[in-house]
Structures are given as C-alpha cells and as structure tokens.
C-alpha cells in the first residue's frame, strides 16, 4: 500500500507539471492551474444523491453556475477541512461572485451518511451541496470524468500522536500532500466527524475542479492554493456566459 500511495504522489506531480508545461506557451488568465485546450473536459453529466435525499444532476441542476467539484470525506484529518474552510472564506468575501456552487462529493459513502455529511459541511457553509455516490462504480466513473486520481482506502491504520498512520509509519495525507500551506484567513477549529473506531483512511485527489457556467473546466486548484488565487479566478469564471463558446474561457 505504501508503494501505491507514493505512486499516487508521483502521478499528481506529473499531472501538475504536464498541465503547466502545456499551458506555458502563453500567459494564462488564471492564477490557478490552467487546463490547456487539448485537455478540457465538460462538467460530468451525472446525478448523485444529496444530503436531503434528492437527485442532483451536476450539469443540469447547476446551469449558469461556476461548479467547484471537490472530493472529500468527513473523517479527513487535515486537508479537506482546510480547503472547505478556504472556499467558504473566499465566497463570503464582499464582492465575491454569487453564481458559484460548491459540490462536495464524499469518497467515503460507507461512513458518510446524509446526516453525517450535512453536519460536517455545515461547519463551513450551509450552502455547500453534499453529494453521495450510490455505488463505488459511480465514484470511479466520476473520477474518470473529472480526470482525477482514484481514491485509495488505506487499511491497518493505527493512531499515533493524533495522526492516522499506516502500519509502516507513513501519515497518508502527509504523504499525499507534504507541502506547507499558508492558511491565510481560513476558518479554524473545524473538526473531522467522530465515527468511532476508524479502521481505514483514504488517500484521494485533493484538487478542486472548476467548471465555468458554459460547462467547461478551465482551471483546477490543487493543495495548496492561496485564497488570492481563488479571489482572482472566480470572477473570471463566473463572467463566462452559459452559452459562451469554449474559447471564451481560454
């Protein structure tokens, strides 16, 4: 499992370097990770169950919105809470665009019941939409549609010094994201939900995938991303008309 986690780290770095290199021939309008024209994807045409038990179609039910799709889970010990707090802070700032939807998809549907997921997201914003895959295959299909790394369950964990560690001593989330982040003015004191005895952790793709109102994903935001980058990019994405051609966001 340790080798799998390290492989995921290498793939993540390769994705970031490749994307930056592809878009490096001209200056990008985005401060986040700009997606080159050859790699553009549309918002997945998929439906998930929200925390109220309703079907939410990522494309049809969020028309005219900037969709920020983020994979997370409520027992995440570190990064998920930081990024959700950051998004809440950005969207609560005066002058922030109002046509932005945060779509938080759990990668841990076995433990993240609608009630648990809603309680966790409400720590950050009651406007965040919590989505639960019906099956593992649906989660895999979403990750393929996003162009995201597959989430990996890490079993045989023990608790040492407040960190989830594998039996070989590697903190899974620290392995996936070992860079230091300037948290800026993100909210503090947000806690992972208590599920009792936790017998596995999950390594997952920590990027926020941003889709403009015309349905194309022009930018991504890996951990760590500064709030100033979101402050700069979200108004650009929000200003792209729903019927705008793909070139409008490049």
What CATH number has the domain bearing residue 173?
3.40.30.10
Residue 209 neighbours by CB under 8 Å, 6+ apart? 68, 69, 70, 146, 148, 217, 220
Domain extent, residue 212, equals 2-249
CA distance 82 to 85: 5
CB burial string 48-67: b at 16+ within 10 A, e below:
bbbbeeeebebeebbeebbb
pLDDT score recorded for residue 13: 42
pLDDT score recorded for residue 189: 54
Least Cα distance to 43 among 242, 248, 247 occurs for 242
Q: What are phi and psi of 13, to 5 degrees?
A: -60, -40
CA distance 10 to 109: 27
As a 3-state breakdown, the chain gives helix, strand, coil percent values, each rounded to 5, of: 30, 20, 45
Least Cα distance to 204 among 152, 136, 131 occurs for 152
Domain count for the chain: 1
Residue 10 neighbours by CB under 8 Å, 6+ apart? none
CA distance 12 to 9: 5
Tell me the pairing of strands 208-211 and 100-106.
unpaired
pLDDT score recorded for residue 193: 67
Helix (H) or strand (E) holding 155: strand 152-155
CA distance 159 to 164: 5
CA distance 225 to 59: 25
Residue 88 neighbours by CB under 8 Å, 6+ apart? 124, 125, 128, 187
pLDDT score recorded for residue 239: 98
Instruction: Indicate yes or no: pTM above 0.85.
Output: no
pLDDT tens by residue, the chain, 250 residues: 333 333 333 344 444 444 444 444 458 999 999 999 999 999 999 999 999 999 999 999 999 999 999 999 999 988 999 999 999 999 999 999 999 999 999 999 999 999 999 999 999 999 999 999 999 999 999 999 999 999 999 986 454 444 433 333 333 333 333 333 333 343 455 667 665 566 899 999 999 999 999 999 999 999 999 999 999 999 999 999 999 999 999 9
């Amino acid at each position: 499992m340790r080798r799998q986690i390290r492989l995921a780290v290498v793939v993540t770095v390769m994705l970031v370097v490749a994307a930056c290199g592809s878009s490096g021939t001209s200056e990008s309008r985005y401060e986040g990770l700009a997606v080159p024209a050859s790699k553009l994807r549309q918002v997945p045409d998929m439906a998930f169950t929200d925390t109220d038990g309703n079907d939410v179609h990522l494309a049809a039910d969020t028309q005219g919105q900037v969709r920020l799709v983020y994979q997370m889970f409520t027992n995440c010990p570190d990064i998920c809470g930081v990024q959700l707090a950051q998004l809440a802070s950005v969207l609560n700032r005066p002058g922030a665009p109002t046509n932005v939807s945060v779509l938080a998809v759990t990668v841990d549907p076995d433990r993240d019941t609608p009630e648990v997921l809603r309680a966790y997201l409400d720590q950050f914003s009651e406007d965040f939409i919590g989505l639960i895959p019906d099956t593992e295959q649906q989660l895999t299909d979403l990750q393929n549609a996003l162009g995201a790394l597959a989430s990996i369950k890490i079993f045989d964990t023990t608790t040492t010094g407040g960190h989830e560690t594998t039996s070989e001593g590697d903190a899974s989330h620290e392995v996936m994201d070992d860079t230091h982040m300037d948290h800026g003015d993100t909210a503090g004191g947000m806690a992972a939900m208590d599920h009792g005895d936790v017998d596995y952790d999950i390594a997952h793709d920590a990027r926020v995938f941003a889709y403009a109102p015309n349905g194309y994903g022009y930018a991504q935001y890996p951990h760590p991303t500064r709030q100033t980058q979101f402050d700069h990019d979200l108004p650009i994405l929000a200003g792209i008309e729903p019927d705008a051609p793909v070139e409008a966001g490049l």
